[in-house]
Structure 1
Amino acid sequence: MSYPWQKLGLNADQQADSVLAAMTDGEKFAWLSGPMAIPLHKGEKIPAEAIGSAACYPSIPRLGIPAIQQSDASLGVSALGGVRPGDHATALPSSLALGAAFDPDLAETSGKLLGREAFCKGFNVQLAGGANLIREPRGGRNFEYISEDPLLTGIIAGHNVRGIQSQHVVSTVKHFALNAQETGRVVADSRLNEAALRESDLLAFELAIEIGQPGAVMPGYNLVNGEWASENPFLLSKVLKGDWQYPGWVMSDWGATHSATKAARAGLDVQSGSNLDECAWFDHPLREAVARGEIDGSYIDQMIHRILRSLFACGAIQHPAQRGTPLDYSWHQLMAQREAEQGIVLLKNAQQTLPLPPELSRLVVIGAHADQGVLAGGGSSAVTPQGCLQLEGVDFMGIQTPKVYHPSSPLAAIRRNSLAKKVDFVSGDSIEEALNSAQGCEAVIVFAQEWRSEALDAQGLDLDDHQNLLIEQLAAVHPKVIVVLQTGGAVTLPWLNKVSAVLEAWYPGSGGGEAIAGVLFGRINPAGRLPITFPASEQQLPHPKQVDPSTTTSLPGVKVKGDIFQIDYNVEGADVGYRWFERQQQKPLFPFGFGLSYTQFSYDDLQLCQSSDTVTASLTLTNCGDRSGSEVIQLYIRPTSGRYPSRLAAFRKVFLAPGESQRVSLRLEPRVIAQWETTKQLWHIVAGEYDIFQATDAATPGLCGTLTISAHAFGYRVA
């Protein structure tokens, strides 16, 4: 049977129109509001066609349109609450690990893997693409996001989305925008002036959307400048659909819709998880609003057109997802391992402790269930491969989500990679046992963990007292203590000066054990660079005390109205992370972009040029060590006037053999150089002198040059 949309020569918009013209009102409204496709209570039914996942919207067989099957999330195909018993999926490393790799090609490859698994499990929409800036270092979902920098976040998220959609699976970007903490997330009002918002959080989303062209955008639970993100006219109509001319659809987060008429007029197209809301706003209330004339019927057609257009644009209708298609999980696990290897950051390596030599007599591995697996973050993104260790976690929207350890044992991998005569393991629960085990061994490898989850912010930046004491006491009795961190963000390290080496492995996924062992024993030369700043203490942060609705009355500058409380991000404005530290002239524990290698690199001959509206920099990079390795070239810019602190304006990861040199040219992103003029609604590069410098991290400049850049205004429309 042939359908009108199959006519040759039609583009995605025309295909969408051909289907829309044949749809009934009932079919349209069935796509605008839907419940979570996971039973929240015993005996609760999910939509008839649902595989069991985040959501399902019905098929239209007479028009050749498959059901819309939506699954979480950025780190793999999840199965919350065991909704698909026996389901197996590859767990990708956390998005922070992907950000730490500074590698757009790797991000796209990772997206292809995720899209392929989703497609073969029957899903045509993946709720991926986390692109929030990490403003709150203690945020519970930071592991789902990429970095504190808009350029790095936008480029990596965009390429990851592009990879997913290459497999005929729509990807979202989320959570649009300023969704920085989990504590009180549904009543938090994020406050930030437009110029700062455009130069930071919105720029990350703008770049991600330009590069990845995601089929859908998901606002957050929070309010932004007094309006719920899901019904925020500035975010959805003015910026997203207006300035950026975004053609896809806007879906709410689950249980984050607050109205029918206001939300629809503001630009929301779909109410997700309607059973978690006060009512199914986009069902009968929206129908009634149309009948009363409060909403023009053309709004409904525009909503459906956007959904159909996105499905056609990535081939989700022409190439329906094929549930049950065999997957090569062994190959996917190896790909996840390669991703983890590129994202591990070597933070300390005193006296070249690492890589450890092979065939040692005895090693001791301590802590964090390293005998069974590697830690994962919790919540909707949690992937539960077969054979994973599951401990008590957190109640998430009425669903018990466990604390998961992915089945990639670091202990087993260390035994394979080290060829040591003996490798012992102790849990670390007993400090006395750990100290006894360290006697007579040649190295102690301590695994330290910090678990974060959706709906659960970290309480401070410290590891728990027991782990800190364990590491402190081990370092007091053994000269070679190596700490492997598995964290969902930045942590403080009070014992840093007492240990020999520290690796940040993040949540490393299905191949995490092998990746960690590969770095420890030199099979892999570490190339990860920090995508976030590690503060020396919470007192260095723009918001030293966490903003919690239960304690807001005691915090200066926090305003409360009813259940809503405000978080004033104007304190730091556009200067998130490393920019804030430079502005305040504070020295962090580890700066953004920091990471050590087993080889050495040198830079030479920085040349700067402005031609037309493009600023470029070129330099020569040389591997002057004795190992092959990758270096992340980082270029920063700041006006000599000090108008704003240094901003990452370009980066590239380059692999070089020992002694090899390469001439590299990079184009600086003009919106990073520019500032937003709210009155004119334009980007404006102010004429003047700018310092442009190469750096090994945000706090350590290397080659530096000064370029006089001419004024240039550009934007979306001139007022």
Structure 2
Amino acid sequence: MTFPRSLFLASTILAFHCNPSFARNESPAKAIERADKTLKAMTPEEKTILTHGIMPLKILPNSPEPPAEAIPGAGYIKGIPRLGVPALYETDASLGVSYVFGLRKDGATALPSGLAQASTWNPALIEKAGRMIGAETRAKGFNVLLAGGVNLMRDPRNGRNFEYLGEDPLLAGTLVGHAIRGIQSNHIISTIKHFAFNGQETARKLVDSKISAANAHESDLLAFKIGIEIGDPGSVMCAYNKVNGHSACDNNWLLNTVLKHDWGYKGFVMSDWGAVPSLGAALNGLDQQSGEQLDTAVFFGDTLAAAAKSNPVYAKRLDDMNRRILWAIYNNGLDANPAKPGGVIDFKAHGDIAEQVARQGIVLLRNERGVLPLAASTKRIAVIGGYANSGVLSGAGSSQVQAEGGPAVYIPAGNGDENSSFIAESYHNSVPLKALRAAAPNAEITYRNGRYIAEAVAQAKKSDVAIVFATQWTSEGFDVPDMSLPNGQDALLAAVAAANPNTVVVLETGGPVMMPWLDSTAAVIEAWYPGARGAEAIAAVLTGKVNPSGKLPVTFPAHKDQLPRAEVDGMDSTEPSFLGMPDLKGQALVADYDIEGSNIGYRWNALKGNKALFPFGHGLSYTSFAASGLKTDGARASARITNTGKADGATIAQLYLVSRTGKPARRLVSFQRVELVAGQSKPLAMTIDPRLLGDWRDGNWTIVAGDYGFALGEDAEHLGPVTTVRLKGRTWRD
């Protein structure tokens, strides 16, 4: 879910433990059979109970008192007790159970941001993390988690990039599928969202995402398709934006043609909150109206019932809407395994999982002269900036998670309007200064907040190492205007690096940033928004307790001109509000995604000959690795990877398509995380999804006969020897 105009937030939570290893209650076929049986027993009045729901929060203007059985959260849909159909209790989001203004007086375990999760390139770990947040969801009494964010990063300034899983459809789709699978193992429904092409927050309810069918299927739709294939989510959440002129929640091509017909999706489509334009959305594929108070009318209640009574087309559609919702309920065992509030959570165990994700998601971007890991002989360390004496940064919006007691630091933001109290820069109570002192007990560690550059410089000069924590806060509802570090941090970094050649930068950002000070620094790590145990993970990497293994899931551009669109669409049309709803005064606003098409991020750079500041797939280690012996037939690949250094560590084997039929190409076609002790060698066995070698044409995938080149790469720009294989041409339907 996404919080709408009059209801945005910072969110926080509590958490309770429950068994994370449930299995499905029904086979998909049995779930269909049960759905049909229940549907036949429903009265006409009962057929619109499951098709619409409220936001059960008494914080909206003129909101009625929520039903007594509703839990404060994102949504509530009544059940049908006569038929044993449970109510749906919905909560946000992909990073944990959201705080919802603290209205439940509880908290939960915050996973690191989506980009941090994606930097692990570890499907098994992300599935484990999904099981964890699914368990906390269930323990609070919720049975629907509005998770599964997989919109590809088409612009690094999108305020919501931190929730998502990067720019590549294979990586993002694989990881989101495993996250969903973990979540739903708890007998709850997970969504996958936001369907589709929700690439910016500025004017998100107005912008029209323009893209051809081929470009769509080869990029964002492929990420969704892979995620659905792996995770089998009970619901798809449609998006706020338009797609090719039609609202994404009222889009016959997206919802009926692609999702339900071509892909055979069995679950239901729920709207984003306040995204339903009319009753006609039902005919165009929408199955459930969410947060109905936020729309101009309740279209899927009495209005839908009246339409079904007088029009057989609506009657048939209404049956299908119910069948899909019932299938998701039965397929995930919501009725047989009811979620109940008051479960018990092992916060220690769940915190350990969050820390494991953070450890694997931290990316070592730069390490000159082997400054990291910090030497045991280091005597004086200056820690500067970033509220490092208080906590680690998190992203804001409907995905906001907080531990019990709320944030360690809370800085209200806004335009002084009604939304100001709902958006805040907040920090989890995981303290880098404390964690570093525990990890390096023999060093004298001082802290300066960085507000005064002269003071920070003076402390840096007296220290063996200066560690500067730099933050970029982002949020749902608005985009950042550029990729600089705000609040004068670039100037602070430049001054500290000039004063101390052993300056280490720890970035806590929502996406890529520019680094005009980079060449003056000794080391840079990207910690993203590192979650409930972020400080402990950062300290472990800095001191060498953990050998960094994260790899970038996005491209860090060298400069703005490398982007397909120099400006955020709508950003300069007028002053953007905090909820992506600028007054465009009747202007048409189009985000032309056919400019780059499916060539997103590293593929755009390869097409244009650009060199990134840090390329997709980049990430250093405290050891070294070598890959050799690549062999492939175009469907499978084998090779050997060796730890050639002196420390145990892990790396990501990245296999790229580099040419097709004699023409240059660049596409990640397989990946595998490999852990190796020093000197160890392991064989690799990788599979290649044929869709990544072909083109989508008129409803089919096509591989053109010819020579195809493959290479293992350290990242998308630094590739090993090319292995070429001749492939036969073929065409198939997905």
Which of 37, 46, 51 matches 1:27? 46
Q: Does 1:688 align with 2:712?
A: no
Q: How does 1:507-518 map to 2 (within 5 A)?
A: 507-518=529-540
Q: Secondary structure at the match of 1:271?
A: coil
- CA drift of 1:403 comes to 1.8
Letter in 2 for 1:332: H
Q: Deviations over 1:535-583 (max 9, x none)?
A: 0111110001121165289xxxxxx993541111111011000000010
1:550 & 1:694 partners in 2: Cα distance? 41
- Calculate the TM-score normalised by the size of structure 2: 0.92
Letter in 2 for 1:94: S
* Equivalent residues of 1:81, 1:401 under 8 A apart: no
1:398 & 1:373 partners in 2: Cα distance? 22
Q: Does 1:47 align with 2:71?
A: no
- CA drift of 1:369 comes to 0.8
Q: Which residue of 2 aligns with 1:67?
A: 87
Q: Which residue of 2 aligns with 1:590?
A: 614
Which has the higher relative contact order, 1 or 2, with Cα contacts under 8 A spaced 6 or more apart? 2
Residues 549 and 539 from structure 1, CA distance in 2 versus in 1: closer, same or farther, beyond 3 angstroms?
closer
Q: How does 1:169-568 map to 2 (within 5 A)?
A: 169-260=188-279, 262-293=280-311, 295-358=313-376, 360-387=378-405, 388-389=407-408, 390-394=410-414, 400-464=422-486, 466-548=488-570, 551=573, 562-568=586-592
Q: Which residue of 2 aligns with 1:3?
A: none
Residues 168 and 56 from structure 1, CA distance in 2 versus in 1: closer, same or farther, beyond 3 angstroms?
same
Q: Which residue of 2 aligns with 1:146?
A: 165
1:346 & 1:167 partners in 2: Cα distance? 35
Q: Which residue of 2 aligns with 1:557?
A: none
Q: Does 1:628 align with 2:628?
A: no
Which of 99, 109, 125 matches 2:128? 109
* Equivalent residues of 2:92, 2:147 under 8 A apart: yes
Q: Secondary structure at the match of 1:202?
A: helix
2:618 & 2:139 partners in 1: Cα distance? 38
Q: Does 1:648 align with 2:654?
A: no
2:27 & 2:121 partners in 1: Cα distance? 41
- CA drift of 1:303 comes to 0.7
* Equivalent residues of 1:49, 1:67 under 8 A apart: no
Q: Secondary structure at the match of 1:702?
A: coil
* Equivalent residues of 1:552, 1:565 under 8 A apart: no
Q: Deviations over 1:257-289 (max 9, x none)?
A: 0011x2111110001111111111112322232
2:45 & 2:188 partners in 1: Cα distance? 25
2:339 & 2:626 partners in 1: Cα distance? 48
1:300 & 1:686 partners in 2: Cα distance? 43
1:515 & 1:702 partners in 2: Cα distance? 32
Matched residues, number: 697
Residues 563 and 256 from structure 1, CA distance in 2 versus in 1: closer, same or farther, beyond 3 angstroms?
farther
Gaps of 5+ in 1: 1-5, 554-559
Q: Does 1:569 align with 2:593?
A: yes
633-642 vs 451-460, which moves further: 633-642
1:292 & 1:524 partners in 2: Cα distance? 66
Residues 439 and 549 from structure 1, CA distance in 2 versus in 1: closer, same or farther, beyond 3 angstroms?
closer
1:46 & 1:398 partners in 2: Cα distance? 24
* Equivalent residues of 1:362, 1:420 under 8 A apart: no
22-31 vs 99-108, which moves further: 22-31
Letter in 2 for 1:677: R
Q: Secondary structure at the match of 1:567?
A: strand
* Equivalent residues of 1:219, 1:251 under 8 A apart: yes
Q: Deviations over 1:145-185 (max 9, x none)?
A: 00100100110000000000011111000001110000000
438-447 vs 221-230, which moves further: 438-447
Residues 196 and 674 from structure 1, CA distance in 2 versus in 1: closer, same or farther, beyond 3 angstroms?
same
C-alpha RMSD of the superposition: 1.9
* Equivalent residues of 2:702, 2:730 under 8 A apart: yes
* Equivalent residues of 2:413, 2:420 under 8 A apart: no
Q: Secondary structure at the match of 2:423?
A: strand
- CA drift of 1:372 comes to 1.1
2:282 & 2:537 partners in 1: Cα distance? 47
Letter in 1 for 2:455: E
* Equivalent residues of 1:40, 1:398 under 8 A apart: no
Residues 489 and 201 from structure 1, CA distance in 2 versus in 1: closer, same or farther, beyond 3 angstroms?
same
Q: Secondary structure at the match of 2:445?
A: strand
* Equivalent residues of 1:81, 1:399 under 8 A apart: no
Q: Which residue of 2 aligns with 1:556?
A: none
1:618 & 1:170 partners in 2: Cα distance? 37
1:267 & 1:400 partners in 2: Cα distance? 32
Residues 150 and 363 from structure 1, CA distance in 2 versus in 1: closer, same or farther, beyond 3 angstroms?
same
Higher share in strand: 1
- CA drift of 1:27 comes to 2.9
2:606 & 2:572 partners in 1: Cα distance? 32
Percent sequence identity over aligned pairs: 44
- CA drift of 1:57 comes to 1.1
- CA drift of 1:508 comes to 0.3
Which of 674, 690, 704 matches 1:670? 690
Q: Deviations over 1:126-161 (max 9, x none)?
A: 000001110011001000100100100110000000
* Equivalent residues of 2:662, 2:708 under 8 A apart: no
1:8 & 1:579 partners in 2: Cα distance? 40
Residues 57 and 699 from structure 1, CA distance in 2 versus in 1: closer, same or farther, beyond 3 angstroms?
same
- CA drift of 1:9 comes to 12
Q: Which residue of 2 aligns with 1:637?
A: 657
1:313 & 1:186 partners in 2: Cα distance? 33
* Equivalent residues of 1:575, 1:645 under 8 A apart: no
593-602 vs 299-308, which moves further: 299-308
Q: Does 1:599 align with 2:606?
A: no
601-610 vs 578-587, which moves further: 601-610
2:587 & 2:571 partners in 1: Cα distance? 8
* Equivalent residues of 1:80, 1:401 under 8 A apart: no
1:150 & 1:546 partners in 2: Cα distance? 22
1:216 & 1:506 partners in 2: Cα distance? 28
Residues 233 and 455 from structure 1, CA distance in 2 versus in 1: closer, same or farther, beyond 3 angstroms?
same
- CA drift of 1:59 comes to 2.9
1:659 & 1:309 partners in 2: Cα distance? 51
Q: Secondary structure at the match of 1:646?
A: strand
- Calculate the TM-score normalised by the size of structure 1: 0.94
2:588 & 2:332 partners in 1: Cα distance? 39
2:60 & 2:54 partners in 1: Cα distance? 13
Q: Which residue of 2 aligns with 1:16?
A: 35
Q: Which residue of 1 aligns with 2:98?
A: 78
* Equivalent residues of 1:151, 1:649 under 8 A apart: yes
Gaps of 5+ in 2: 1-24, 576-583
